[in-house]
């Protein structure tokens, strides 16, 4: 009981997530006959996971690529594809987010990289600034669904499932969500009269843009293609991504110097340093969850509501969406995976499918205040207030929620590529 009370108080007070995980576990440890040395062992065990090495490398690769001008190359190609279609630049934004997502593995990182260029461009083309910021925020959510995805790597470690299989499972849902978001952006632009100011699509111009951006566009194909072809593991792929990013930025495009490399390393260190502390305390937290049989108690409570797998997933999705409004994505994955995974697997839900659903609910959390990380990034780029963007993002939130319903009802969408292996 002490464990639960302290955890709830820490969560309510908004203390750092490592303390939310570690403090109640430490108090429980001090009140038990278990030796205190087990804390050090758990902290070490939490970060002694080989797959976690992929996260800092993918973050570093994304940071270097953003400074190498790869984002500009992606946008140039996408603009040639869409032409003068209604909502042309809005569609370009989402397509660019999808492509950059296959490089960075981060939602906010995708918003920052794409939004810095396309929010001002959309405003210049006559789009309302709040709509432009909402489109960019929504497209950025694809950064954690399309591979490589940092939350998927963490989930794979905690759930003991193949990270490569999780990456494969995220492709079709990611394309589905991207298509749905493009459809909504088109309809909203059509109603508002937003039309692209670019040239109509011409195969010759598209070919020129494609050739000019060939090294930038090759990035996800080299990284992800190598994983799926069995040439290298996800961790090795992350190192290849860093080396290729440096090759493109330093040698080919010559836009990355020592200062840019240092800034990229600083950015990656700031992001991943916190993750190391959190993962260590997460394992410690999970051990005490098991010791107190909290997952079993939660499962027993929820099973009194329903034993139907689909209804249970709808119930958990609603809970996760609410929690996502005030919990950061990695925190949600780290805290809830050891609690909920035993429950859903007991009902026959594939753990990889549940991982995809967990990531999709986290996408909605990126767009919902008071946390809404993507919204804050878009606010800093556009100079707008949070409430201005929040109103415009509602149709996109409903769209992602509709896609979540489809994934729950038809799990074969998530598992379709894996079934072909």
DSSP codes of every residue in 179-224: HHHHHHHHHHHHHHT-B--SPPP-HHHHHHHHHHTHHHHHHHHHHH
Residue 131 and residue 321 in contact, taking contact as beta carbons nearer than 8 Å: no
Domain assignment of residue 2, yes or no: no
Domain assignment of residue 298, yes or no: yes
Please give the distance of CA 364 from its chain centroid, rounded to a whole number. Answer: 11
DSSP, collapsed to helix, strand or coil, labels residue 86 as strand
- Please give the full DSSP string across 275-293, using - where no structure is assigned: HHHHHHHHHHHHHHHHHTT
Per-residue tokens: 364:
């909605």
- Please tell me the predicted confidence (pLDDT) of residue 196: 63
- Please tell me the predicted confidence (pLDDT) of residue 421: 65
Query: Alpha-carbon distance 374 to 285, whole Å?
Result: 28
Domain assignment of residue 403, yes or no: yes
Cβ neighbours around 372 below 10 Å, total: 23
Give the max Cα distance, the chain.
Answer: 74
Query: Alpha-carbon distance 381 to 401, whole Å?
Result: 26
DSSP 256: -
**Residue pointed to by tokens 């034993």:** 307
Domain assignment of residue 4, yes or no: no
Per-residue tokens: 336:
């809830």
Domain assignment of residue 8, yes or no: no
CA distances from 71 to 30, 36, 116, 141 (A): 51, 49, 10, 17
Per-residue tokens: 346:
């007991």
Query: Alpha-carbon distance 117 to 355, whole Å?
Result: 32
For 29-68, letters b (16+ CB in 10 Å) and e give beeeeeeeeebeebbeebeeeebbbbbbbbbbbbbbbbbb
Domain assignment of residue 393, yes or no: yes
DSSP, collapsed to helix, strand or coil, labels residue 9 as helix
**Residue pointed to by tokens 């139907």:** 308
Q: How many domains would you assign to the chain?
A: 1
Domain assignment of residue 328, yes or no: yes
Domain assignment of residue 41, yes or no: no
Query: Alpha-carbon distance 268 to 231, whole Å?
Result: 26
- Please tell me the predicted confidence (pLDDT) of residue 401: 95
Residues spanned by the domain of 117: 50-420
| Tens of pLDDT, residue by residue, the chain (421 residues) | 677 787 778 777 777 767 777 787 778 777 777 777 777 776 776 667 777 778 788 878 888 887 888 878 888 888 777 766 777 888 989 988 888 887 777 778 788 888 888 888 888 888 899 999 999 999 999 988 998 888 899 899 889 899 989 999 999 999 999 999 999 999 999 898 887 656 666 778 888 888 888 888 888 888 888 887 888 888 888 899 899 989 999 999 888 899 999 998 888 887 677 667 776 777 777 767 767 777 677 777 888 888 899 999 999 999 888 877 767 777 788 888 888 998 899 999 999 999 999 999 988 988 887 667 888 888 888 888 888 898 899 999 999 999 999 999 999 999 988 888 6
Residue 219 and residue 244 in contact, taking contact as beta carbons nearer than 8 Å: yes
Cβ neighbours around 152 below 10 Å, total: 29
CA atoms within 13 A on the CB side of 145: 32
pTM: 0.82
DSSP 171: H
Phi, psi of 349 (to 5 degrees): -80, 135
- Please tell me the predicted confidence (pLDDT) of residue 326: 67
Residue 290 and residue 334 in contact, taking contact as beta carbons nearer than 8 Å: no
- Please tell me the predicted confidence (pLDDT) of residue 218: 87
Query: Alpha-carbon distance 169 to 165, whole Å?
Result: 6
Residue 69 and residue 306 in contact, taking contact as beta carbons nearer than 8 Å: no
Query: Alpha-carbon distance 384 to 185, whole Å?
Result: 20
Q: How far apart are the first and last CA of the chain?
A: 46
- Please tell me the predicted confidence (pLDDT) of residue 165: 92
Cβ neighbours around 370 below 10 Å, total: 9
């Amino acid at each position: 009981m002490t464990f639960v009370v302290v955890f709830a108080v820490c969560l309510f007070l908004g203390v750092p997530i490592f303390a939310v995980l570690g403090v109640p576990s430490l108090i429980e440890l001090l009140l038990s006959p278990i030796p205190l040395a087990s804390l050090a062992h758990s902290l070490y065990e939490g970060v002694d996971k080989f797959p976690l090495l992929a996260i800092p490398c993918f973050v570093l690769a994304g940071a270097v690529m953003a400074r190498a001008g790869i984002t500009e190359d992606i946008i140039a190609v996408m603009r040639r594809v869409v032409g003068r279609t209604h909502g042309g630049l809005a569609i370009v934004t989402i397509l660019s987010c999808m492509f950059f997502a296959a490089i960075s593995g981060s939602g906010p990182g995708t918003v920052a990289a794409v939004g810095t260029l396309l929010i001002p461009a959309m405003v210049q083309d006559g789009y309302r600034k709040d709509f432009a910021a909402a489109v960019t925020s929504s497209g950025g959510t694809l950064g954690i669904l399309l591979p490589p995805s940092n939350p998927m790597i963490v989930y794979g470690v905690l759930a003991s499932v193949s990270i490569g299989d999780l990456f494969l499972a995220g492709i079709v849902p990611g394309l589905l969500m991207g298509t749905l978001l493009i459809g909504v952006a088109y309809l909203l632009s059509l109603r508002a009269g937003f039309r692209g100011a670019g040239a109509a699509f011409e195969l010759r111009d598209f070919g020129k843009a494609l050739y000019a951006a060939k090294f930038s566009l090759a990035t996800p194909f080299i990284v992800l293609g190598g994983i799926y072809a069995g040439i290298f593991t996800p961790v090795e792929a992350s190192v290849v991504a860093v080396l290729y990013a440096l090759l493109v930025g330093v040698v080919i495009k010559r836009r990355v110097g020592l200062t840019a490399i240092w800034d990229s390393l600083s950015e990656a260190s700031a992001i991943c340093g916190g993750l190391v502390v959190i993962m260590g305390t997460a394992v410690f937290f999970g051990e005490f969850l098991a010791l107190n049989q909290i997952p079993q108690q939660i499962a027993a409570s929820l099973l009194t509501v329903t034993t139907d797998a689909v209804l249970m997933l709808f119930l958990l999705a609603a809970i996760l969406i609410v929690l996502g409004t005030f919990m950061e994505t990695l925190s949600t994955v780290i805290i809830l995976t050891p609690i909920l995974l035993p429950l859903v697997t007991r009902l026959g839900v594939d753990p990889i499918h549940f991982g995809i659903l967990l990531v999709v609910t986290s996408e909605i959390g990126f767009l919902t205040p008071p946390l809404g990380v993507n919204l804050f990034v878009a606010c800093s780029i556009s100079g707008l207030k949070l409430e201005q963007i929040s109103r415009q993002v509602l149709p996109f939130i409903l769209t992602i929620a509709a896609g979540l319903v489809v994934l729950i009802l038809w799990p074969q969408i998530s598992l379709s590529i894996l079934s072909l292996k």
